[in-house]
């Protein structure tokens, strides 16, 4: 058990491990094969108290910390990546942005929906605006007492199963003046103009749909706008701080997957005999296991530290980025090595290693690529903006001269 955890957290982790091993693990291969969202896990989570744990008690949650959520996600992901991702998105990301910056009405609605089993979707990425989210073209035009949204998002996790959507759009006033990027809440099936267009055929993580979503003259009242304290102009940056929790969560799923793969491989090296002895009697295999365990210990320490940095708010941006980069990259490596230790069996769909290898590949991409997150880390270390556009530095210089 980790030295980082308080006794209650260690107990929560043990409970999550039991639930994951008793219920979740048995369905992991089927969820991958059928590509069907595991609604039954939502019931399991509800019964175990793992849904909306980080939601404040005042709204029906348990006011748990990010680290509490992390230990649950970690245990789920060891057995099933999809269960891990559901635990992330019902405790972090969109729901945490709403809890931090939403109106009373928005907080109550989001809490009720999540506690009843909805996994909210967060809609930022567009076909032409990925790493450069500020290049989004989805727009919300104020017309009378409504906002009218038009645009397209893609790779939206949960598109088609999520009901609550947090949608980022450029906001324009009645005169067509740009006011900033805003986050709007819309409920699928209750909002005309929100259309799930198609599902992506993904390499792994097949139990949650990744969807393209269109907004065609979708009308929303101003009360749908999540308004952070600094208003619309700087509000996007505020809303994105909530994404630091999601990044820690995504890193935790990668951590769980690599731990799961390592545990399987370690046991197998004792069981499998070649040349008349268990393969873990070969020094090459022993050092391999040692290196895997070092990567896991380092990744876990970074994730736990990043989670704890958010005790009084959201996790620190640099720590969350460092943790996600290190964990996602090393998880790919560890899963690959674990698969190798199984020989041909590792390549078979009869064992979970090939599924883990497909699933784990995502985490250096979604939620900010490892490259773009290195920019975030560097910017934090150097304590200055590092514009990526060709004219970015000249714009900064001009602003400084004003």
Q: Which residues in this chain contact ligand FAD in the complex, by CB under 6 A?
A: 122-125, 130-131, 155-157, 205, 210, 362, 365-369, 371-372, 375, 388
- Beta-carbon contacts of 85 under 8 Å, excluding residues fewer than 6 positions away, are 77, 157, 205, 208, 253
Provide the minimum distance between the beta carbon of 315 and ligand FAD in the complex, in angstroms, as a whole number: 17
Backbone phi and psi for residue 273, each to the nearest 5 degrees, phi listed first: -115, 135
Identity of the residue, 305 or 324, whose beta carbon is nearer to ligand FAD in the bound complex: 324
Return the bridge partners of 121, or none: 165
Identity of the residue, 76 or 123, whose beta carbon is nearer to ligand FAD in the bound complex: 123
Identity of the residue, 62 or 369, whose beta carbon is nearer to ligand FAD in the bound complex: 369
Provide the minimum distance between the beta carbon of 286 and ligand FAD in the complex, in angstroms, as a whole number: 35
Q: What b/e string do you get for 93-111 counting C-beta neighbours within 10 Å, with b at 16 or more? A: bbbbbbbbbbeeebbebbb
Query: Minimal CA–CA distance to 240: which of 43, 30, 94, 129?
Result: 94
Identity of the residue, 60 or 180, whose beta carbon is nearer to ligand FAD in the bound complex: 180
Provide the minimum distance between the beta carbon of 388 and ligand FAD in the complex, in angstroms, as a whole number: 4
Q: Which two tokens stand for residue 305?
A: 């530290």
Identity of the residue, 13 or 154, whose beta carbon is nearer to ligand FAD in the bound complex: 154
Please, are residues 151 and 169 in contact by the beta-carbon 8 Å criterion? yes
Q: Which two tokens stand for residue 368?
A: 């900010």
Provide the minimum distance between the beta carbon of 72 and ligand FAD in the complex, in angstroms, as a whole number: 20
Please, are residues 82 and 207 in contact by the beta-carbon 8 Å criterion? yes
Q: What b/e string do you get for 342-375 counting C-beta neighbours within 10 Å, with b at 16 or more? A: beeebeeeebbbbbbbbbbbbbbebbbbeebbeb
Provide the minimum distance between the beta carbon of 168 and ligand FAD in the complex, in angstroms, as a whole number: 8
Identity of the residue, 100 or 205, whose beta carbon is nearer to ligand FAD in the bound complex: 205
Provide the minimum distance between the beta carbon of 121 and ligand FAD in the complex, in angstroms, as a whole number: 6
Identity of the residue, 339 or 376, whose beta carbon is nearer to ligand FAD in the bound complex: 376
Distance between terminal CA atoms of the chain? Answer: 55
**What are the E-state strand segments in 43-163?**
121-123, 139-143, 146-157
Provide the minimum distance between the beta carbon of 154 and ligand FAD in the complex, in angstroms, as a whole number: 8
Whose CB is nearest to ligand FAD? 130
What is the rounded distance in angstroms from the CA atom of residue 32 to the CA atom of residue 241? 32
What is the rounded distance in angstroms from the CA atom of residue 57 to the CA atom of residue 204? 35
With 0-12 / 13-18 / 19 or more C-beta atoms within 10 angstroms meaning exposed / middle / buried, residue 7 is exposed
Identity of the residue, 156 or 285, whose beta carbon is nearer to ligand FAD in the bound complex: 156
Provide the minimum distance between the beta carbon of 295 and ligand FAD in the complex, in angstroms, as a whole number: 22
Give the relative orientation of helices 66-79 and 81-89 as an angle to the nearest 10 degrees: 160
SS3 167: strand
The count of residues in the chain is: 402
Provide the minimum distance between the beta carbon of 401 and ligand FAD in the complex, in angstroms, as a whole number: 25
What is the rounded distance in angstroms from the CA atom of residue 289 to the CA atom of residue 337? 9
Identity of the residue, 129 or 319, whose beta carbon is nearer to ligand FAD in the bound complex: 129
Provide the minimum distance between the beta carbon of 223 and ligand FAD in the complex, in angstroms, as a whole number: 23
Identity of the residue, 260 or 366, whose beta carbon is nearer to ligand FAD in the bound complex: 366
């Amino acid at each position: 058990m980790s030295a980082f955890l308080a006794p209650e957290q260690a107990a929560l982790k043990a409970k999550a491990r039991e639930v994951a091993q008793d219920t979740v693990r048995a369905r992991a291969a089927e969820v991958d094969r059928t590509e069907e969202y595991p609604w039954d896990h939502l019931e399991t989570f509800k019964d175990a108290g793992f849904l909306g744990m980080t939601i404040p008690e005042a709204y029906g949650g348990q006011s748990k910390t990010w680290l509490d959520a992390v230990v649950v996600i970690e245990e789920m992901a060891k057995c099933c990546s999809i269960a891990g991702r559901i635990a992330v998105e019902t405790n972090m990301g969109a729901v945490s942005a709403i809890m931090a910056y939403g109106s009373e009405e928005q907080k109550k609605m989001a809490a009720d929906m999540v506690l009843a089993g909805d996994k909210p979707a967060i809609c930022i990425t567009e076909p032409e605006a990925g790493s450069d989210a500020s290049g989004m073209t989805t727009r919300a035009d104020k017309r009378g007492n409504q906002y009218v949204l038009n645009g397209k998002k893609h790779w939206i996790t949960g598109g088609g199963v999520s009901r609550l959507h947090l949608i980022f759009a450029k906001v324009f006033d009645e005169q067509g003046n740009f006011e900033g990027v805003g986050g709007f809440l819309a409920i699928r099936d209750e909002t005309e103009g929100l259309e799930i267009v198609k599902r992506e055929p993904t390499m792994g993580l097949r139990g949650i749909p990744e969807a393209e979503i269109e907004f065609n003259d979708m009308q929303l009242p101003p009360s749908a706008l999540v308004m952070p304290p600094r208003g619309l102009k700087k509000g996007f940056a505020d809303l994105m701080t909530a994404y630091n929790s999601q990044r820690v969560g995504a890193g935790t799923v990668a951590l769980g997957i690599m731990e799961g793969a390592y545990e399987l491989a370690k046991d197998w090296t004792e069981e499998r005999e070649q040349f008349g002895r268990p393969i873990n009697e070969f020094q090459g295999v022993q050092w391999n296991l040692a290196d895997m365990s070092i990567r896991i210990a380092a990744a876990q320490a970074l994730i736990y530290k990043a989670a704890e940095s958010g005790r009084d708010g959201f996790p620190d941006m640099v720590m969350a980025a460092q943790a996600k980069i290190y964990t996602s990259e090393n998880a790919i490596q560890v899963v690959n090595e674990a698969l190798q230790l199984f020989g041909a069996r590792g390549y078979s769909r009869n064992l979970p290693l090939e599924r883990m290898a497909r699933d784990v590949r995502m985490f250096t991409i979604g939620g900010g690529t490892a490259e773009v997150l290195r920019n975030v880390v560097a910017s934090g270390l150097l304590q200055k903006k590092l514009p990526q556009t060709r004219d970015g530095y000249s714009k900064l210089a001009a602003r400084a001269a004003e």
